Structures are given as structure tokens and as C-alpha cells.
Homo-oligomer: A and B are copies of this chain.
Amino acid sequence: MAKAVMTVARQSMREEIVEAALDQFHSRGYNAAGVKDITATAGAPKGSFYNHFDSKEALALTALERYGETLRMRDLADASVAPVARLRAHFEFLRDETVGHGYKRGCMFGNFGTEIGDHSEVLRVGVEQNLVVWTTLVADVIGEAQRGGEVRGDLDPATTARFVVNAWEGTLIDARATRSADAFGSFFALVFGTLLTAPAKAPGEGGADADGRRSQRGA
């Protein structure tokens, strides 16, 4: 580590700052995370911050983009996995991340959206753009699942994706406030056990409905 720092070029020092910023903005929030602490954690020389970023806001936007890359959104387009299972695995991965952090941290989109979006146009737009990318990918999976008969066909994919992603963001608030997985249980039961499943299937007919029931148990 010390060796890496010693051989650092400008670009790798910038990278250290971004990584420290991602960790501190995520765990402490925008206002509580200070440029001084971030720079110190990155091992950057005092006063060197503005060689790399114009402002704390600009660094936070870069950290937000980097955070988006950790959500494995590309897995949502992995055609080798059946669409509903793929969507479910995506949210299970995100759930496991939050559980792994002891029900802390949550999602940086939601955190920045609630804390700083009203006060920074740059970060509000950053959150908006990330939500749009995410929601579009989820909508594509829902559309694909509808064509395969896995999801009820009367739902509008874009409207539904938006609702599901928003429900996820609120579920994280609940999970953090209660420090428990119960909120995730509600999310998986309602989204995969009720909302997306085709209505009016006869009992034992299998398919999407059976998947929904299995989903509830696994939540």
C-alpha cells in the first residue's frame, strides 16, 4: 500500500481520493464527510485537493457515478438468466450489501437525493440521471419477462420499474431505521409475490405464480 502510494502518479492519487470519497460520502453523508478527512484518508498532501477537483460537489458527483458502478446494473441485461430470476438476484445482491454493512449506509442515490439534492443542482441531476439509467434497465427486464409470460402483461414496464426502484429506495430507509431484514421481506413478497405475478392463475398452475410463492419464502 505504502509502495503504491510512493509510485503514484497524479492519476492514481486522484483515484485514491475518489475511493476515500466514495467510502466517506456513503457512510457519513454529504455534509458530514469533509474534504480534509477525505484527502487525509487518501494520503494526499495537504492542500492538493484542488489540483484534482474543482469543489467538494464535483468530487461528490464523481463518487456518485463510481457508486453506481458498484450496483452491478449490467447484470440486469444478462440474457443467460431468466428475467424475473435476474431481477430478483439484482435486489438480493443489493439487500446483501446492506445486511453486510449492518443495515447501515443504504443507497447513495437515496442518501444524496434526500440530503443534498434540494441544495445542489449538480448532485440533484446526478441522482436523477443514475435513477433513470437504473429504472430503464429494470423496465427492460420487466418487458422481457412479460414477453415470456413471467410477469402480468397489463403493467406498463416503465411505470412499474419506476415504482419498484422507488419502493426499493424506501425499503432501505426502513431497513436502516429498524436495523432488520423485515423491510426486505415486505419488498420481495409484494413485488415478486404479488405485483409482478400474473393474476387469476389457477392454484398449482405453476410458472410465474409458483415463482412468486417461492420468492416470498426466500425473502
Interface string of A2-32 (1 = CB under 8 A from B): 0000000000000000000000000111011
Which residues of A line the B interface, CB within 8 A?
Answer: 27-29, 31-32, 104-106, 109-111, 113-119, 124, 127-128, 131, 154-156, 159-160, 162-163, 165-171, 173-174, 176-179, 182-183, 185-187, 189-191, 194-195, 199-200
28 intermolecular pairs with C-beta atoms under 8 Å apart = A27-B118, A28-B119, A29-B115, A29-B116, A31-B115, A105-B118, A106-B114, A111-B114, A111-B115, A113-B173, A113-B174, A117-B176, A124-B176, A124-B179, A127-B177, A128-B177, A131-B177, A159-B185, A160-B186, A163-B190, A165-B170, A166-B170, A166-B186, A167-B167, A168-B170, A169-B174, A195-B195, A200-B200
